[in-house]
Amino acid sequence: MTGAAPLDGLTVLEISSFVAAPLGGMTLAQLGAEVIRIDPIGGAADHTRWPLAPSGTSLYWTGLNKAKKSVTLNFRDPEAQRIVADLVAASGPGGGIVLTNAAGRPWLGYDRLRAVRPDVIHLQIQGRHDGSAAVDYTVNAGIGFPLVTGPEEHQGPVNHVLPAWDIACGLYAAVGLLAADRRRQRTGEGSQITLALEDVALALAGNLGFLAEAQLGESRPRIGNHLFGGFARDFATADGERVMVATVSARHFADLAAATGLAGPFAELERLLGADFAADGDRYAHREVIAALLAPWFASRTVAEIGQLLDGSSVLWSRYRRFTDLAADGVLAGNPLFGEIDQPGVGTLFAPASPLAQEGRAGPAPAPPLGADTAAVLTGLLGLSAQEAAALADQGVVGGAGKAGGGHR
């Protein structure tokens, strides 16, 4: 798409690590904001986190820092701390925006930065609302999801591999900064925002009804791969694979019954049970017997045959696939979300741009090598000379300026 990027002119300073804050920054960067990630010299704790490319470059770090600029500073040096404040003050009318999850650093706090820029927008991500530490895995354990996930007969917790609360927190952070910038445009006032990871999880658990259900005395059971409150589950196929089938409306179920030739047996089952499978609750209450009728139909057909019969109907279904399947069968190359980049330390690969398809959406851009933009930011935003920037590097105040590699093709 063509046209100006939606967030062109916005400058964000990000001092972060791990998932939530880097994702918030990248969300803004992929919409056109200038996002400058500032790391300690040598990198923050997430700079070498798995998975790794054969070179040892973190695919995790590069994945969450696409389209940003990278600056490295010696955070223990007062001069480096002053540089952060100077960058906040010097980043223009669309700047003065700070996103961080770093704790215990007074020089990075709202009050200190407000002294150099009264209209600063400062968003601090923290573990809990009281400021204590937490991560996605401990928040998830403390809320209850691992004890309602997994097979019905399983007794212990089942953790999942997706850091759902980190992801939601990062997206909330991006929305929060944009809302604060909109307010600043109207009033000229800055904002101090705190965003607790646990509060994000609690809010979403509340919004989805889990907490209301518990307050009314109901205990959510484990139901394996069934859908709570409706009918959906996985089935084995004749070629040794599995498919997920979901009917979240009466039409979906009617179409599934027609496609499988089971409309008659389902009607008789409804009569015998006194049920109405057009109702979500009845499909859920009788999920096991419905599944028992469907299982032989799926088990006698290959995935391709199932697709021929279900595609074109309203039935929602998918073959279970591995990440390697997506990488190998052309899904990435065929989706306009993805573009080929040359990622320093990794090589050529397909990477996603912003999933918001709109005017001005640019293709994906690689993550910079750590510290690659230090000199350019110091000379560009702060107006230092090349000699002054080099002297700061020699003194160990800032990291050495590497060469930014790669580009979007």
Q: Is 89 exposed, middle or buried (0-12, 13-18, 19+ CB in 10 A)?
A: middle
How many Cβ atoms are within 10 Å of 3's Cβ, its own excluded? 10
DSSP code at position 342? E
Which residue in 284, 79, 99 sits closest to 191, CA to CA? 99
- Count Cα atoms within 13 angstroms, Cβ side, for 75: 18
Give burial (CB, 10 Å; 0-12/13-18/19+) of 338: middle
Helix (H) or strand (E) holding 11, with range, is strand 11-15
Using the structure block, give the residue that is written with the tokens 């997206």.
Answer: 171
Among all chains, which residue has been given the structure tokens 């640019």? 362
The CA distances from residue 43 to 58, 75, 78, 82, 109, in Å, are 11, 11, 18, 19, 21
The β-bridge relationship of strands 97-100 and 121-126 is: parallel
Q: Is the peptide bond before 51 cis (omega within 30 degrees of 0)?
A: yes
CA-nearest of 97, 264, 276, 279 to 192 is 97
The answer to whether residue 46 is catalytic is no
Token pair, residue 32, equals 């056109």
Pair 369, 404: CB distance under 8 Å? yes
Which secondary structure element, helix H or strand E, spans residue 35, and what is its range? strand 34-40
The single residue of 39, 136, 166, 199 carrying the catalytic annotation is 166
By CB neighbour count within 10 A (0-12 exposed, 13-18 middle, 19+ buried), where does 379 fall? middle
Please, how many CA atoms are within 13 Å of residue 325, restricted to the half-sphere of its CB? 5
List residues bridging with 232 in a β-sheet.
246
Catalytic residue positions, numbered: 166
